Structure 1
Amino acid sequence: MAARNTQQTEADDLRQIVTSLYPEALTRTYCVPPVQFNRVPYVRDTVPGTGLSVHVQQPRPSARSRHTALSTKPEGWTVPQHMWAEEPGPHLPPVGMQESDLRDDFAQNHVMLNLQELGDSRHEAMFILSQLQFGSYLNEPAYAAAAAQLPRPKDLPQDRQGDFDFLLIHRQHGILIGELKSVGKTMGALNQTYTPADPHLAQKVKQAVKQLDKSERVVRHLVSDMGPGMTVKKTLFLPYVSSAQLERVLDNDEQLEQAVCQSLGAANSSLSDAVQLCCCSDQLSQPASYWDVTPAVLSQLSTWWQHRMACTVDARLTDQLYLDIVARFVGPATTVSVPCYNGVRVEVRTVGQAVAELGRRLALLVLTLQQLGLMSRDPPLVYITGAPGTGKTVVLVLQGVRWLRQGHDVHVISTGYNTRAVSTSIKQQLEMSLNASPTPSLTPGSVSYHIYDIWNREGDVDQAVTDLVACVKNGHLHVLIDEVSFDSRGKRGPRHTRLVTRLAQQVPHLYLWCAGVYNAGIPPALQTQGFTVPLRSAPAVLREIQPVIHKFAVHDYSDSGVPAPGDGLSVIRLSHHGNAHTGRWPVDCAQCGQDIAAELRRLGVGSSVANSTSRLSYRDVFVLTRSDDIQDDVTDEAGRVTSPASGVVQGLKDAGVPVSVLGDHQDRLHNEARWERAVQDVAVAATDTVTVTRYGYVPGLERRVVAVLQGRDQDDDDRGRTDEDTDRNDRLIAVSRCTTQLITVRTPPVTTTPPSLTTTTTPAVTTTTTDTTSNDDHHHRQEEERQEVCLVVTCPASTPSSPPLP
């Protein structure tokens, strides 16, 4: 009796932990892990001239001649303290993976996204477990004593090894075991092609039936102590095989047909019934747009679900029994880990942990073979152009490290307010990278940081040339400039052109590498290199940006030839609407701030997670707005509030979220020293606070979680800019600051519905704007609007995989 009481107490404890991890366990669908983490092969290599040992992605055989990539591991949660580490990140899988591994990862993600959408749309209470190893069940040492009293896979000598591709635990319908076969899929152009048939389908189905029967024996054993008659069903997931194909194959193999009918429990051994119990390509989203689970797809999925699961209800399943089953399979006694490279276990159970871990993997510094080739050639004058997140800033830093190790001084130039943060970040990366990997023989060079404002002060061009020419040593000068634009239709472009041209004329041996998003008006003195492979944002985020790329003078994204670390989390879409909401736009609304805070709490931002190496800090979050009229409380010398905080800032603070505001134009115009200190803090994420700012101040920086607030200012209205115009800039400039979890806050349209962030897959953006109180800022906006309307399409679009250095 005492033993049973102890066992019941431990079950109660597990159930309590599970309900704390998954507070809506009885009402909603959870995926565990919440994200498919892909396996990406790597080999070691060295960046030329840096002495830095890194890892090179081993592309698929079909893509090996086109692309490869380098990766290094940063340190710290958000912004790398230096760029390099002795070992690669723990997620890197062993070299020598087969293309079938990549294909299986893609198929796993494809099916998981569809099942998640099915569960959410039907409000199903269930857990979708994926790739759970039998040996991971109840194997945590801390729970060994309790686990010893329960059935485990090790009790079945013939079946103790294996895994569940999918294991669905449903509150009403019981347990569903799913075996996935990616037969019919070819990687081809990444994520976009598949073959209509496969000669090995019969063989794969035969294997799947054996695996399903084995998995059923294991599951029934694991729940045998919970009473007889637990509902356990099975299905085949064949996302690249049609129902008609499957039926033809089974019809031509009577023995296989009988095996499938018996395994799946088809009524009267009916072939058509057996096929209906399988989830085929007919019921799933298209491979080329696997994320787009349309209402038509959901209807087909629901029909399959009704045939396979919803046709019966397990009356034995009480809330407590359901939670007890869930607690065993996803609770702390069972290891829920994701693929890793160096044996370090990475547990990912919750959405917040998934955001943290995927964000960490996306923060790894990556180069394509094209970028490595540019560094190998080492031309003296280079302009790197490309869409956000294609590695421009990373290459600038690498080149700067090489110059420093060669003994040259490196001059980092900030040419305007919009480049302060990223330039500060580059300076810090150079200094700390050099300290982490000191030059063995030569005395390294030093880093100098120069601040100018050529946008608002034309004389700063002459001043910059004078200052830099004075820094020439033995005829040599090494310069890095990020966030450059040479577009001749605004004043910033000609001034950047004049700066580069005059330096080239006056410095005998000028080495100048600069980077920018736009590809218009580039001076002939510079060798241009266009980067097109997305490296920093999850595909789910890139899908929000890509539809507007062609609206700008910007290279489109292209296929990298290798998968992203993971597809990412679905966009969280909030609405500035309802009685509690105030102000015209979300930036003015305290309720919107509270709504954002609620999502941050759901992600576990700022909270510690027991037994987890993956967590989110407040410094991992940006809240970005188009408006420059955003501020924290303004106080007088006595500490009295003379001007209250913006609504969204106040809402965040009222919800207990620590906030830092960068963007008050009064600070920038009248207290520049304080504003520069705030910029430096944001650039290196020094303070564990959520940063709220105008998105024009943080190009080149990223955060794992980014909330983008829709908005317009008086200048937009005066100039007749449409919501579509502002939306385009929101996407290109603000959304691209996100690596992993995007949150959008929008005002519902009053009459018509222009392209907006409320769409699921194909959205629109604009460049940054500033406040109307300054004439200089007014001209600042004018140039940006001219850049908005430049239409250039240079590269074919493809499914994206990831943006630049934080």
Structure 2
Amino acid sequence: MAARNTQQTDADDWRQIVTSLYPDALTRTYCVPPVQFNRVPYLRGTVPGTGLSVHLLQPHASTRLLHTALSTKPEGWTLPQHMWTEEPGPHLPPVAMQDCDLQDDFAQNHVMLNLQELGDSRHEAMFILSQLQFGSYLNEPAYAAAAERLPRPKDLPQDRQGDFDFLLIHRQHGILVGELKSVGKNSNAANETDDDVIAEKVKKAVKQLDKSERVVRHLVSDMGPGMTVKKTLFLPYVSSAQLERVLDNDEQLEQAVCQSLGAANAAEAVQLCCCSDQLSQPASYWHVTPAVLSQLSTWWQHRMSCTVDARLTDQHYLDIVARFVGPATTVSVPCYNGVRVEVRTAGQAVAELGRRLALLVLTLQQLDLMNRDPPLVYITGAPGTGKTVVLVLQGVRWLRQGHDVHVISTLYTTRAVSTSIKQQLEMSLSAGPTPLTPGSVSYHLYDIFNREGDVDQAVTDLVASVKNGQLHVLIDEVSFDSRLRYGPRHTRLVTRLAQQVPHLYLWCAGVHNTKIPPALQTQVFTVPLRSAPAVLREIQPAIHSVPVHDYSDSGVPAPGDGLSVIRLSHHGNAHTGRWPLDCAQCGQDIAAELRRLGVGWSVANSPSRLSYRDVFVLTRSRDLHDDVTDETGRVTSPASGVVQGLKDAGVPVSVLGDQDWLHNRARWEGAVQDVAVAATDTVTVAEHGYVTGLERRVVAVLQGRDQEDDDRGRTDEVTDLGDRLDAVSRCTTQLITVRTPPVTTTPPSLTTTTTPATTTTPRHNLIQQPLPPPSPPRPLPPPPATTTTTTAKRRGGRKCVLS
């Protein structure tokens, strides 16, 4: 009796932990882990000219990237405080990476996304477990005593080793074991694969399925007789017709498949398998259309809904889930350095995927550029292609060579990213091996948008800074586009420096690819490195609308596809104001999503956590502000609605907007410094122009317009594309959009899923006619008359303003 009571206590505790991790366990679908983490092996290497040890992605016929695994600051920082806070550790043995590894990861992600969409669309209560090792079941040392009383895989000597490709635990239908085979992924255009190859893979899959069934039945054998356990094959690149043909031609294989799946004949067996007919297209695997969901539902009805396990009560279901994903079972994901990383919840997945995306990454092209080391370089490319990273690495090399490095901020909108570059240079220099005579970092602030004379002043200052006949300069977020007020001014700055300083070393970067001065050698970066594919798919529709190079296929999978975009609506009785910025309820809705992700929570023994500093809330409106107070501290203008809503929900907030720029310059400068290095653990609410070049793991983008948009007659489509390019691109991992539902049919927007062309490199060109050229933004109104000349500067423009 004592043992039974102890066992019941363990079950109660595990069930309570599971319901705290998955509060909607009885009503919705959860994937565990929530994201497919791809295997990316590393080797050791060095960044040229720095003498610093890094990890490099193992060269492979299918890859064209070198990943440098450099540490980021702990406690959830998105931006590296400096690039090498930790040594990479001991040399790692080379990890063999075959084409089949890449195919299997891709197929696993493909099927998991489809199953998640199926569960969500049907409102199914189930857990989708993927790649769970038998040995991970009830193997946590802290729960060893409790595990000893329960059936485990080690009790089955013949079956103790292995894994479940997919294990679906359903509230009504019991357990479904799924075996995945990626055969056919590299077939020809007609999607034909040699039948013998398919037959061999299916034969192997059946044996693995039967083994997995034996293990599952053993693991739940103490929970009552007759637990419903079904099996299926996932063949995402083999059609149903192909599979049926293979079975018809191999009588022995047909018998084995029918017996394993409980089918009467080959045709029925095929209906119980999930083939390419039921899944989204590989070239757009994330785009699960209603037609695909209909086919998936048909398969699901054939495989599962014919039987409802009436013995499965809520408690019984949660007890099964608690054993497979509760605290006693290890839920880990692969990691390049062999360290076990546990990821159970969506928040942990965002944190871990964000950490991997924040690792410094170099492509072979970037490494070649640094090896060649040309003196005058303009790096251009879409957001998140590593432009700023290469600038920083080049600056570190110059410093270690003993040269002074001058970091230039040419616009008020580049203050934050320029501050970040300066910070990384200084801390990277102090963290690494100290050269005998290191250089120093100088930081120069100008505003060539509002003061044309700052071009001449910058040239004068920099020429005066020439040392030993040389000058080393870094400028980020540059544009030479003549349609922008500051475009020709950037051109004049670079041209005059090149003329007056014979030994000038100037590396600059920006997104625009037009009107580049001939003095600069242009380098185009096209491989996306900083954002998960789920975020990139939201950015890409804007790429073709402006003079920006499109993304290209990297030839290697991203660390993970990313979580689905969270789409909130500014609509309903509790919502107020024309736009989300003015709505306190929208702020509370964002706060609720942050709570769901566990932002700000302390997770014991888990490095995968999200801090408030990992979050941006971005708007295009210049009306954003916190409480405005007079000299007595009395609030004269309450904070914007979304800011107040976040505060009311207990979220610590920092605001970076135009009002402080106009009325409290000291506070504005302090906020810029803070956001640049994420010094304070707060959510930053900002106009997106002020955080150009910075990134966060979680970004909420608020739809909106200001008076300038109305005055210039900008359509919602144009403002939407601007938000994609300037705000969505600040996100690495989890995107949240908050939009007002359209009254009438509108062009594709952030709420619309777009079907891309079926190519190996996804391209989302939603704009068939080119948009008008970008125009300079309206300067801010002058500050109060009491403001000094120093503080009367008007701020610079956004990175890209579409007319």
Q: TM-score range by the shorter chain?
A: over 0.9
Provide the secondary structure at the position in 1 that maps to 2:593.
helix
1:217 to 214, 236, 245: 214
Does 2:297 align with 1:302?
yes
> Using the alignment, how far apart are the partners of 1:779 and 1:71 within structure 2?
37
How many residues align structurally? 776
Tell me if structure 1 keeps the 8 A contact 2:485–2:776: no
> Using the alignment, how far apart are the partners of 1:159 and 1:768 within structure 2?
68
Does 2:257 align with 1:260?
yes
User: What residue is the counterpart of 2:113 in the other structure?
Assistant: 113
Does 2:325 align with 1:327?
no
Q: Name the CA shift for 1:779/1:131 in 2 (closer, same or farther; >3 Å).
A: closer
1:403-482 aligned at under 5 Å gives the runs 403-440=398-435, 442-482=436-476
1:54-203 aligned at under 5 Å gives the runs 54-63=54-63, 67-76=65-74, 77-78=76-77, 79-88=79-88, 95-186=95-186, 195-198=191-194, 199-203=196-200
- Residues 7-64 of structure 1: CA deviation (Å, up to 9, x unaligned): 101100000000000000000000000000000122222111111222222354144x
Partner AA of 1:402 in structure 2:
R
> Using the alignment, how far apart are the partners of 1:459 and 1:708 within structure 2?
35
Q: Name the CA shift for 1:89/1:774 in 2 (closer, same or farther; >3 Å).
A: farther
1:683 to 676, 681, 686: 676
Q: Name the CA shift for 1:419/1:561 in 2 (closer, same or farther; >3 Å).
A: same
Q: Give the superposition deviation at 1:752.
A: 2.3
Tell me if structure 2 keeps the 8 A contact 1:586–1:648: yes
Is the deviation greater in 688-697 or in 774-783? 774-783
> Using the alignment, how far apart are the partners of 2:216 and 2:798 within structure 1?
65
> Using the alignment, how far apart are the partners of 1:163 and 1:436 within structure 2?
43
Tell me if structure 1 keeps the 8 A contact 2:484–2:776: no
RMSD: 2.0
> Using the alignment, how far apart are the partners of 1:592 and 1:12 within structure 2?
37
Identity %: 85
Q: Give the superposition deviation at 1:771.
A: 6.9
Q: Name the CA shift for 1:371/1:139 in 2 (closer, same or farther; >3 Å).
A: same
Tell me if structure 2 keeps the 8 A contact 1:491–1:783: no
> Using the alignment, how far apart are the partners of 1:61 and 1:163 within structure 2?
28
Partner AA of 1:6 in structure 2:
T
Q: Name the CA shift for 1:590/1:779 in 2 (closer, same or farther; >3 Å).
A: closer
Provide the secondary structure at the position in 1 that maps to 2:40.
coil
> Using the alignment, how far apart are the partners of 1:454 and 1:375 within structure 2?
29
Tell me if structure 2 keeps the 8 A contact 1:628–1:771: no
> Using the alignment, how far apart are the partners of 1:688 and 1:367 within structure 2?
29
Q: Give the superposition deviation at 1:782.
A: 10
> Using the alignment, how far apart are the partners of 2:799 and 2:361 within structure 1?
32
2:723 to 703, 717, 730: 730
1:21-40 aligned at under 5 Å gives the runs 21-40=21-40
User: What residue is the counterpart of 1:796 in the other structure?
Assistant: none
2:572 to 578, 582, 599: 578
Tell me if structure 1 keeps the 8 A contact 2:41–2:336: no
Q: Name the CA shift for 1:94/1:5 in 2 (closer, same or farther; >3 Å).
A: farther
1:645-794 aligned at under 5 Å gives the runs 645-663=639-657, 665-761=658-754, 773-774=781-782, 784-785=800-801, 788=802
> Using the alignment, how far apart are the partners of 1:619 and 1:299 within structure 2?
41
> Using the alignment, how far apart are the partners of 1:465 and 1:750 within structure 2?
52
1:170-569 aligned at under 5 Å gives the runs 170-186=170-186, 195-198=191-194, 199-266=196-263, 269-440=264-435, 442-569=436-563
Provide the secondary structure at the position in 2 that maps to 1:48.
coil
Question: Structure 2-normalised TM-score?
Answer: 0.94
Provide the secondary structure at the position in 1 that maps to 2:332.
coil
Partner AA of 1:113 in structure 2:
L
Partner AA of 2:711 in structure 1:
D
Q: Name the CA shift for 1:654/1:67 in 2 (closer, same or farther; >3 Å).
A: closer
Q: Give the superposition deviation at 1:311.
A: 1.1
Provide the secondary structure at the position in 2 that maps to 1:578.
coil
> Using the alignment, how far apart are the partners of 1:400 and 1:774 within structure 2?
37
Provide the secondary structure at the position in 1 that maps to 2:517.
coil
Question: Structure 1-normalised TM-score?
Answer: 0.94
Partner AA of 2:71 in structure 1:
K
Q: Give the superposition deviation at 1:347.
A: 0.6
Q: Give the superposition deviation at 1:746.
A: 0.4
Q: Name the CA shift for 1:169/1:771 in 2 (closer, same or farther; >3 Å).
A: farther
Q: Name the CA shift for 1:101/1:521 in 2 (closer, same or farther; >3 Å).
A: same
> Using the alignment, how far apart are the partners of 1:346 and 1:771 within structure 2?
49
> Using the alignment, how far apart are the partners of 1:758 and 1:489 within structure 2?
30
- Residues 572-598 of structure 1: CA deviation (Å, up to 9, x unaligned): 000111111111100000010000000
Q: Give the superposition deviation at 1:772.
A: 5.1
> Using the alignment, how far apart are the partners of 1:460 and 1:772 within structure 2?
18
- Residues 479-521 of structure 1: CA deviation (Å, up to 9, x unaligned): 0000001011222011111111111111121000000000111
Structure 1 unaligned segments of length 5 or more: list them.
790-806
> Using the alignment, how far apart are the partners of 2:272 and 2:107 within structure 1?
19
Q: Name the CA shift for 1:429/1:286 in 2 (closer, same or farther; >3 Å).
A: same
Provide the secondary structure at the position in 1 that maps to 2:341.
coil
- Residues 524-568 of structure 1: CA deviation (Å, up to 9, x unaligned): 000000100000000000000112201110000001111100000
> Using the alignment, how far apart are the partners of 1:414 and 1:781 within structure 2?
13
User: What residue is the counterpart of 1:803 in the other structure?
Assistant: none
Q: Give the superposition deviation at 1:639.
A: 2.1
Tell me if structure 1 keeps the 8 A contact 2:576–2:582: yes
Q: Give the superposition deviation at 1:715.
A: 1.2
- Residues 60-102 of structure 1: CA deviation (Å, up to 9, x unaligned): 4144xx5544442323222212112555499x99522111111
Q: Name the CA shift for 1:777/1:104 in 2 (closer, same or farther; >3 Å).
A: farther
> Using the alignment, how far apart are the partners of 1:316 and 1:75 within structure 2?
50
Tell me if structure 1 keeps the 8 A contact 2:513–2:548: yes
User: What residue is the counterpart of 1:792 in the other structure?
Assistant: none
> Using the alignment, how far apart are the partners of 1:202 and 1:566 within structure 2?
31
